[in-house]
Homo-oligomer: A and B are copies of this chain.
Amino acid sequence: MIEKLTANELTALLNELPGWKTDDSATSIHRSFKFADFNEAFGFMTRVAIKAQEMDHHPEWSNVYNKVEITLSTHEAKGLTSRDAKLARFIDSITKTSADA
Q: Could you list which residues of chain A lie within 8 angstroms of chain B, going by C-beta atoms?
A: 38-39, 42, 45-46, 49, 52-53, 58, 60-65
Contacts and interface: CB of A to CB of B under 8 A. Distances in A.
Nearest to A42: B49
B58 A61 contact: no
Given A38-B52, A39-B53, A60-B63, 10 more contacts: A38-B49, A38-B53, A38-B58, A42-B49, A45-B45, A46-B46, A58-B65, A60-B64, A61-B62, A61-B63
A63 B62 CA distance: 6
Q: How many copies does the complex hold?
A: 2
Contacts of A42: 46, 49, 53
19 contacts: A38-B49, A38-B52, A38-B53, A38-B58, A39-B53, A42-B46, A42-B49, A42-B53, A45-B45, A46-B46, A58-B64, A58-B65, A60-B62, A60-B63, A60-B64, A61-B62, A61-B63, A62-B62, A62-B63
